[in-house]
Amino acid sequence: MTALETVRVGELTVVRAMPDVERHPPVLFVHGIFVDAREWTDWLPRFAAKGFPAYAVNLRGRAGSRPGIPLRSASFDDYAADAAEVARHLGRPAVVGHSMGGLIAQRLAALDIVRSAVLITPAPPRGIILFTPKLAVKQAKYLPQILTNSVITPNVEDLQELAMNAAPPDVRARATSELIPDSGRVGRQLSLTGVPVDATKIRCPMRVISAELDQFVPAKTVAKIARRYGARLDVIPGRGHIVLMEPGWESLADDLAHWIAAV
């Protein structure tokens, strides 16, 4: 397996896996809310083995990125700026984003600084409502933190039910161990006020992945995202929100690597 190493891009920490021979442009992986670059631990060496320089950014407030900046003050625009800084440093990479990272990938595509974009169970932009009765009940307990720009510590049981419901015990244990606090301000933007993305400015090829059993960003919501951009949509059967870690992730990663290379 290709070794992982952590490098710095400005004040951000970035985990990377480098191929023996570079055959393709770089790929930037962007993580979701309540997690960091560790969720891409298995994907980076797999892409590097196929000739892609593979990078996963740690957004501010985690793993040494932008030390000294309070997490509670972070906004979605701050996170998107972090990812954009790395994308520009890499020189127009492909971008693969999961969950909140999928929404950041939409923003990078609208900035025209990536050559292609893959959205895996992505959070929706403003204008596409993310709502289910179960999700609303779970979110209600976080309203004090969301409304006061406090740091949110995720409830393990909630995320196991919403995001890890289709994961086997070993994957659920790993995902649970990697959970971290996150910005209540970002939580408010994602769940209440929405994040704007100008679809008319997106020119690059885009691919969208949903998961049949996703309780966090349901497949019907992801389908609306794909329709907004006129992008290809694939629904992964029998899988949930953390499809990038669940059994069968290898075939998904290989398929996306092939697509990125082709476009």
Q: DSSP assignment of 165-228, as one string?
A: TTS-HHHHHHHHHT---EEHHHHHIIIII-----GGG--S-EEEEEETT-SSS-HHHHHHHHHH
Residue 1: the pLDDT is 63
- Closest listed residue to residue 81, CA positions, set 54, 53, 59, 100: 59
| Alpha-helical regions (H) of the chain | 43-49, 76-90, 100-110, 133-140, 143-147, 156-162, 169-177, 184-188, 219-229, 249-262
Q: What is the pLDDT of residue 133?
A: 87
Count of the separate structural domains present in the chain: 1
Do 100 and 188 form a contact (C-beta atoms < 8 A)?
Answer: no
Contact 44, 26 (CB under 8 A): no
Residue 251 has what pLDDT? 98
Q: Which domain holds residue 32?
A: 5-262
Report which of 117, 82, 84, 122 is spatially closest to residue 100, judged by C-alpha positions. Answer: 122
Alpha carbons 87 and 26: distance in angstroms, whole number: 9
pLDDT value at residue 185:
95
> pLDDT of 180-228, one tens digit each?
999 999 999 999 999 999 999 999 999 999 999 999 999 999 999 999 9
Cα angle 128, 132, 136; round to 5:
105
Q: CATH number of the domain at 254, please.
A: 3.40.50.1820
Q: What pLDDT, on a 0 to 100 scale, did the predictor assign at position 114?
A: 98
Q: pLDDT below 70 — which residues of the chain?
A: 1
Q: Is the pTM of this model over 0.85?
A: yes
> Are 58 and 65 contacting, i.e. CB atoms less than 8 angstroms apart?
yes
> Which pLDDT value is given to residue 73?
84
CA distances from 146 to 37, 104, 185, 190 (A): 23, 19, 6, 10
3-state SS assignment for residue 132? coil
